[in-house]
Structure formats: structure tokens, C-alpha cells
């Protein structure tokens, strides 16, 4: 078992790749009562065209299959829903689907091994029939209609549709009522058998465990499956330009919502060094806080004017096929917030970055990285998400030290381009 240690947070990760291809990450937390387990597959809403290992023809499936599968896996052949079983055990269980992965998880103080039995059983034993698939279409259809009227989701999705022409990230993770109507049990089994192979999955366990012992418990519960070959994922070409500079939608909201997006150019076949990916991520986090964080001049100025009421959410989202910045918040005048943000970016480019401000924000972000290791949930979800990006989460703690003002200014000029900016607005 490979041991990866980071002395800054005094943490170790025990990593094992099993014969069936499953990657298991164990993060021991001595003396902590909470235990967390998450099992994910590198399969999200981005994958609607692919070539199954051993096949030559391209398989195309409707949008929303990954999320549909997530819903269906809880339903067992004996009629019992595994989520109900886990809840009865007194554990907090859930699942989620993103653009690039799907995950099943639980957190508990007690009954860990009983919960582990249930989770590993339902994830490995899909049960799809014509009847239960049709029933699920109605349930997910209601979810889709609910999200259609949810302002926070619409302002996000509209920003995606403004930035991207063809990338699957612009598509709603749950699909549409039309696309899910085309899903049947054969499609679900094909996607399950392709993407839920252990060689495409990672499991993370965090808590007070002996690594070798908990690994044996995992092995005991795995069914006999052989590792598959590489799945060829097919994505449409994405132009460098944004699709639209602005999208506005009217919904019932007390205060208008806005999402400022900045698209970054990422080619589908691009493979960057993992350290460069991490450095860029850290640099963008620092820049966003310099520009629009709670201690920034822009935030103070807009807050004093009554244009914003709290700090906007500042995010950088990326996979190997897309990358973008998202700034979301509320304002009675989103257009003025947007113009002020663009002015602040230009001002920072012209005047340069203040060394003192840079050091202060860098320390703040480093402190945030350290705090993530205090919570079993934060640790496990971070390591799972990063593993599917080919990143070691510990590397953020190492790479941040080497970030300089010069590098920050390079990223500022390369990424924060006005022609790559969009705004999405939802107002009454």
C-alpha cells in the first residue's frame, strides 16, 4: 500500500489500486468519532458519447443518464430502497451527480460496517425493469420542472449556456423531460456496465481506522469483477469564443441574481501537468479574492453604495474538457456590478498587484486549505473529486508556497479577458 504523507497538516493517505482496478484511498483520523465513506465513479453528465472497451462503434445516449442511474441504484430487487435502510441505521446517506463524476456516500458515528454492507451491496447490484424505469421518469420529470423555476439554478445554467457553444457542461445534469423519456433499462445497464467498472471508480474512507484492516473489509465486500480497458470519451469541439455575452431571464425573485462567467480555453485532448493545473487553480483563487473578496476595494465600494449585500460566491470550475470562473450574487443593479468588476480587472492589469495584499490573501487561502483537513466529509470529498482530475489534494499545500506576484499577473492577463466574459441575470 502506497503511503503519501503531508507534514504541514500531519496527515497520511494510504492508497491501494486493487487487482480489479479499484482505487482505494484511506485517510486515518485517530481519535475522531465521525466516519465517512464515499464511493465514486468517473462518470457524470458530460458522458453521452463514448466507445465501450472492446467495441468499435460509438455509443450515444440521451442527456441525463448519469443522474438517472444515481436515482435508480438505491432501488433493490426485493423492493427495498437502500436509502431507507441506511437512514434506519442512523447514518446520514446521500448521493450526487456532477459533470464529471457520480458518488454514493454516508457519514456516521456508529453502525459503520452495517452501512458499508448496504452501500457496497446496492452500488454493485443494479436492478432495472421497464416498470421501475418508467416510474422514475415521472419522479425525475418533477425534479426537472422544479429546477426550471429555481432562480439560483437558472442563473447558473444560463451562464453556462452563454459561455459554451457545444460543451456538455452547458447541459442540465438531470437532462430534460424529452431526453429522459428516451432512457430505458438497456441504456441504463449499458452505461452502468461501462462506467461502474471498478477500474473507473475510486473509494475514499476517512475516520479512525487501521488502513490494512479497513482495506480487507473493502475487499471482502467486492464482487468478482475484472478491470475493463480504457473508455474512449467523445466530446464535441468547443470554439474559443463565448456563445453569448449576456442572457437575461425573468422569474419571481425579490432581488435580481447575477452570474459573471469567464471562459477559459481548454481543448478536449489537452493534458496539462498536474502541478500546473494546481498552480493555476491557486492563482485564480487568489486573484478572485484580490478582485472581489470581502477585503477588496471593489467589494467595499459596491457594498457602501448598496449595490451588493454580501460577498459574492467566487468559484473556479474545471475538468479536462472545460474550465471557467463563476462569480454569483444578488444586486438591484447587476449590470453596474458587472461593469465595475470589468473596470477593476483592467485597473489591476494596469497598476499591477500589491505585494502586501497578495501575501495577505495567500495566507488566508492557505489557512482555508489547512481547515479542510478538520472535517472527514471535506477531506473525503476533496480527495475523491481531485482523484478524478488526476490531482493529489496534498499538492495544493505544497504548490501555494511557490506562487508569486509575477505568476499571478501572468494568469490575470491570460485568463481574465473581457471578450471571454459573460453575464447571466435573473430578475423579476
Residues belonging to the active site: 70
Residue owning grid cell 464529471:
100
Residue owning grid cell 460496517:
113
User: Regarding beta strands 49-51 and 59-60, do their DSSP bridges make them parallel or antiparallel, or are they unpaired?
Assistant: antiparallel
In this structure, are residues 81 and 74 in contact, taking their beta carbons and an 8 Å threshold? yes
DSSP-derived secondary structure letter, 19 = T
Neighbours of 339 (CB within 10 A): 12
**198: nearest Cα among 354, 37, 42:** 42
Q: Alpha-carbon distance 286 to 51, whole Å?
A: 39
CA angle 75, 219, 52 (to 5 degrees): 60
Cell of 24: 482505494
3 state SS of 59: strand
Q: Which residues of 234-250 are buried (b: 16+ CB within 10 A; e: fewer)?
A: ebeebeeebbeeebeee
> What is the three-state SS of 347-394?
HHHHHCCCHHHHHHHHHHHHHHHHHHHHCHHHHHHHHHHHHHCCCCCC
3 state SS of 150: coil
Q: Alpha-carbon distance 197 to 113, whole Å?
A: 23
Residue owning grid cell 473596470:
343
**69: nearest Cα among 163, 188, 208, 193:** 188
CA contacts within 13 A on the Cβ side of 171: 25
How are strands ordered across the β-sheet holding 59-60? 59-60, 49-51, 232-233
DSSP-derived secondary structure letter, 87 = H
Amino acid at each position: 500500500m502506497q503511503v503519501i504523507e503531508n507534514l504541514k497538516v500531519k496527515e497520511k493517505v494510504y492508497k491501494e489500486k486493487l487487482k480489479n482496478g479499484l482505487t482505494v484511498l484511506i485517510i486515518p483520523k485517530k481519535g475522531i468519532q465521525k466516519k465517512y465513506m464515499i464511493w465514486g465513479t468517473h462518470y457524470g453528465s458530460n458522458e453521452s458519447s463514448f466507445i465501450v472497451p472492446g467495441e468499435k462503434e460509438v455509443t450515444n445516449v440521451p442527456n441525463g443518464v448519469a443522474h438517472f442511474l444515481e436515482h435508480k441504484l438505491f432501488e433493490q430487487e426485493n423492493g427495498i430502497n437502500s436509502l431507507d435502510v441506511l437512514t434506519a441505521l442512523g447514518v446520514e446517506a446521500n448521493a450526487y451527480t456532477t459533470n464529471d463524476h457520480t458518488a454514493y456516500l454516508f457519514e456516521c458515528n456508529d453502525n459503520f460496517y452495517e452501512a458499508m454492507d448496504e452501500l457496497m451491496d446496492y452500488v454493485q447490484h443494479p436492478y432495472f425493469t421497464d416498470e421501475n424505469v418508467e416510474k422514475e421518469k415521472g419522479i425525475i420529470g418533477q425534479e426537472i420542472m422544479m429546477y426550471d423555476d429555481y432562480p439560483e439554478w437558472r442563473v447558473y445554467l444560463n451562464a453556462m449556456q452563454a459561455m459554451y457553444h457545444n460543451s456538455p457542461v452547458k447541459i442540465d445534469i438531470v437532462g430534460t423531460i424529452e431526453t429522459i423519456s428516451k432512457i430505458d433499462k438497456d441504456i441504463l445497464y449499458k452505461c452502468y456496465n461501462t462506467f461502474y467498472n471498478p477500474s473507473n471508480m475510486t473509494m475514499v474512507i476517512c475516520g479512525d481506522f487501521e488502513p490494512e484492516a479497513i482495506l480487507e473489509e473493502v475487499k471482502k465486500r467486492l464482487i468478482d469483477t475484472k478491470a475493463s480497458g480504457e473508455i474512449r470519451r467523445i466530446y464535441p469541439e468547443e470554439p474559443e469564443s463565448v456563445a453569448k455575452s449576456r442572457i437575461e431571464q425573468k422569474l419571481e425573485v425579490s432581488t435580481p441574481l447575477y452570474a459573471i462567467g469567464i471562459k477559459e480555453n481548454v481543448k478536449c485532448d489537452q493534458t496539462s501537468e498536474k502541478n500546473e493545473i494546481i498552480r493555476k487553480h491557486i492563482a485564480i483563487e487568489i486573484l478572485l479574492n484580490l478582485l472581489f473578496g470581502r477585503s477588496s476595494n471593489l467589494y467595499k465600494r459596491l457594498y457602501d453604495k448598496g449595490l451588493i449585500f454580501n460577498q459574492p460566491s467566487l468559484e473556479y470550475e474545471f475538468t479536462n474538457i472545460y474550465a471557467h470562473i463563476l462569480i454569483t450574487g444578488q444586486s438591484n443593479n447587476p449590470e453596474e456590478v458587472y461593469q465595475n468588476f470589468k473596470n477593476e480587472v483592467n485597473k489591476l492589469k494596469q497598476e499591477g498587484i500589491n505585494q502586501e495584499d497578495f501575501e495577505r490573501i495567500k495566507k488566508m487561502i492557505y489557512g482555508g486549505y489547512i481547515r479542510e483537513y478538520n472535517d472527514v466529509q471535506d477531506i473525503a470529498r476533496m480527495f475523491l473529486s481531485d482523484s478524478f482530475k488526476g490531482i493529489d489534494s496534498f499538492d495544493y499545500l505544497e504548490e501555494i508556497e511557490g506562487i508569486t506576484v509575477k505568476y499571478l499577473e501572468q494568469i490575470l492577463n491570460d485568463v481574465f479577458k473581457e471578450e471571454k466574459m459573460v453575464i447571466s441575470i435573473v430578475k423579476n
